[in-house]
Structure 1
Amino acid sequence: MPHQDEHIEYWTHPIHKEVELSRAHLNSFSFEKHIHLDYHIGVVSQGVQEYLHKGTHYQLTPSNISILNPDECHNGHSLHADGYHVHVMSLPCSLVEEIATEVGVSALFFQTPIINSQVLQRQFLLLHTLLTTERQRLSRLEAETTLLALVTELFGHYGQSPKLIQPSAKLGIMELSRVKQLLHEHLASDINLEQLSSSVDLSKFQFLRQFKTAMGMTPHAYLTRLRLEYAKKSLRNGNSAINTAYEVGFFDQSHFNKAFKRAYLVTPSDFKKRVI
């Protein structure tokens, strides 16, 4: 059972409703392997978070900042028994692309998930505090300016061009993209392994093995996380928990609630109250 004082709080901000902020204190709670639809920036203010990313273990400490690209599999847990405090901001791809275009930065990819910079760590914590704790006294101009400055610094100095690595001999970049597109398009459908494997001309066994090698998680786990990520966006847009569940492919409200709380440590209804 999670420690009694474990919790995650969520916010959005009027400057951009798709920018999601969260703050958590976690002890025994562990994030299972998952992906995000957006860029995720994270800072630990106390303790150490350890996570597995592309086969390598990383430790997020109060001296650095974590950057995760969309669609990259990872997990997360406390390295020590006394837990950790973490502050996270998710940036939608549309916002990042808009900012990149405005400032002339072409790279939208981070080669490493950890940046060792106490300066950026402090800047991020200041921005996070402004957008959450100080949000009522914060002018829109100050919020936009501070956010733009941080994101420009990150992408201007640490962004790189994506490397097109072939995941496997048969499940290549194009084939993997085709499968992902099918999963995005069939959130609410009962899509099966045969449909996915046949779309890239592989047997079910070949496809399952190669997808897991390429993505670090099974197709089912990937689809479940996609559904939960889209569910958060739907709830932020004001849709009810029950309508959202059916909209993203959960045909049982109880199953949706349990999956959502297991992923985000809060129920869909409570999440909606926090971000609307």
Structure 2
Amino acid sequence: MHTEHIDYWHHPGLAGIALSQADLRQFSFDKHVHLDYHLGVVTRGGQRFIHRGSSYRLGQQGISTLNPDETHDGQSLGEEGYHVKVMSLPYSMMQALSGELGLGLVHFQAPMVEDPQLYQYFIRLHWLLTQGHCSNLAAQTHLLNFVQLTLQRHLGGPLRQASRASGLSESQLALCKQQFHDEPWQNYQLETLAAEVGLSKFQFLRQFKHSTGITPHAYLKRLRLEYAKKSLMRGDRVGQVAQQVGFFDQSHFNKAFKQAFLVSPRQFQQRML
């Protein structure tokens, strides 16, 4: 019987970087966002995902290039399932490296690219960092070489924002998101959030979803889980993390974390420390 499975790793020489690989068939990733850049490849089967309203198919030779805070989902293309390898790269690291290269703000123009050479490079790098037991210096060198090549080949210009005639304005959306990022633990009220941008709660709910692809509740819940992953990687206690990010109790936190990442918070932390 096929078992849905995700493994997580952290190389000691690469602070803040998370690596994972998964064998999935029935499991689907709901619409969500990330705090970091997510690069990934499929080595068996194929993955279908929706990004900014368009459908994409990720198979062999392609690399997903997902920017932070962009709503997307993910599921298998066929009944046979798929094998995927992913690398999560911190926002600050990517901006610093891009600045050194004179490339400006890192923003991938497309959520995936077809690049057979880079695809093979990613697979070798992922294996080296998760299975190869390489030194810190070797890990840092190979990673920087890969990121530099990726940025030089595929970094686009500023992404043109989609029309938000029926959604929140740029300033309204930024205000709401900033609150969520600054205080993810808060027990927000829909009426309060709506009033702060001059809308009724029904207008706010509809326009937030139009702008982001998910409801305010779903967006905040995912942010809480993303910040929880970072706290767990720092070694914070699971019960403490649940409280820090605003879950009602540890049981609710464990259930939400496993639904999103297929492992418990404690299992994730054991792999990342």
Scaled to the shorter chain, the TM-score interval is over 0.9
Contact persistence 1:37–1:229 (CA under 8 A): yes
Q: After the TM superposition, which residues 197-216 of structure 1 pair with which residues of structure 2 at under 5 Å, given as runs? A: 197-216=194-213
CA contact (8 A) 1:100 1:106 kept: yes
Tell me whether 1:227 sits opposite 2:224 in the alignment. Answer: yes
Question: Counterpart in 1 of 2:20?
Answer: 22
Which position in structure 2 is the counterpart of 1:145? 141
- Structure 1 alignment gaps of length 5 or more: none
Does residue 168 (structure 1) correspond to residue 158 (structure 2)? The answer is no
The answer as to 2:29 corresponding to 1:31 is yes
Shift of residue 4, structure 1, vs aligned partner: 4.1
In structure 2, relative to structure 1, the CA distance for the partners of 1:167 and 1:194 (3 Å cut) is: farther
Partner letter of residue 150 of structure 1? F
- What 5-or-longer segments of structure 2 have no aligned partner? none
For 1:79 and 1:63, the matched residues in 2 are separated by 16
1:65-76 matched pairs, under 5 angstroms: 65-76=63-74
Deviates more, 1:105-114 or 1:115-124: 105-114
Residue of structure 2 in register with 1:45 after alignment: 43
Letter in 2 for 1:156: Q
Q: Which amino acid aligns with 1:29?
A: F
- Residue matched to 1:129: 127
Counterparts of residues 186-205 of structure 1 (less than 5 Å): 186-205=183-202
Cα deviation for residue 60 of structure 1 reads 0.7
CA-CA distance at 1:66 after TM superposition: 0.5
The one-character-per-residue Cα deviations of 1:66-113 (angstroms, maximum 9, x if unpaired) are 110000001111111111100000000010011111111114111111
Indicate the residue corresponding to 2:246 in structure 1: 249
Q: State the partner residue of 2:80.
A: 82
8 Å Cα contact 2:28/2:75 also seen in 1: yes
2: CA distance between counterparts of 1:198 and 1:94? 33
Distance 1:163 1:268 in 2: 34
For normalisation by structure 2, the TM-score amounts to 0.96
Residue correspondences, number: 272
TM-score normalized by the length of structure 1: 0.95
Q: Which moved more, 1:30-39 or 1:95-104?
A: 95-104
What is the alpha-carbon distance in structure 2 between the residues aligned to residue 67 and residue 161 of structure 1? 14
- Letter of the aligned partner of 1:258 in structure 2? K
Shift of residue 250, structure 1, vs aligned partner: 0.3
Aligned-CA RMSD value:
1.3
Q: Distance in 2 between matches of 1:218 and 1:75?
A: 14
Aligned mates of 2:245, 2:27 — CA distance in 1:
25
Shift of 1:173: 1.3
